[in-house]
Amino acid sequence: MGKFICKKCNKSKSVSNYTVKVIDDKVVVPEAVCCDSYMTQKREKGAGFGSIRKGPDGSVMRKPRPWE
């Protein structure tokens, strides 16, 4: 579910299924259009991609496997 806000009229819209496209070097959602322009996506705090766990020396370590 994505929440979108129009920059011109400040209306909000929620879209359950949407596609992401790159048009003129901008990432846009074609389903979220208002006032003849694309709406911006409102990101919730804490949402997004996770980060890679790194060790103190900056290397990425995986879990030890019992058969190794």
Q: Per-residue confidence of the chain (68 residues) as pLDDT tens digits?
A: 788 888 888 888 888 888 888 888 888 888 888 888 888 877 766 555 566 667 777 777 777 777 76
The two tokens of residue 60 are: 């990425």
Q: Are strands 12-15 and 2-5 parallel, antiparallel or unpaired?
A: antiparallel
- 0.85 surpassed by pTM: no
pLDDT of 8 reads: 87
Alpha-carbon span 10 to 34, nearest angstrom: 10
The answer to whether the CB of 30 falls within 8 A of the CB of 39 is: no
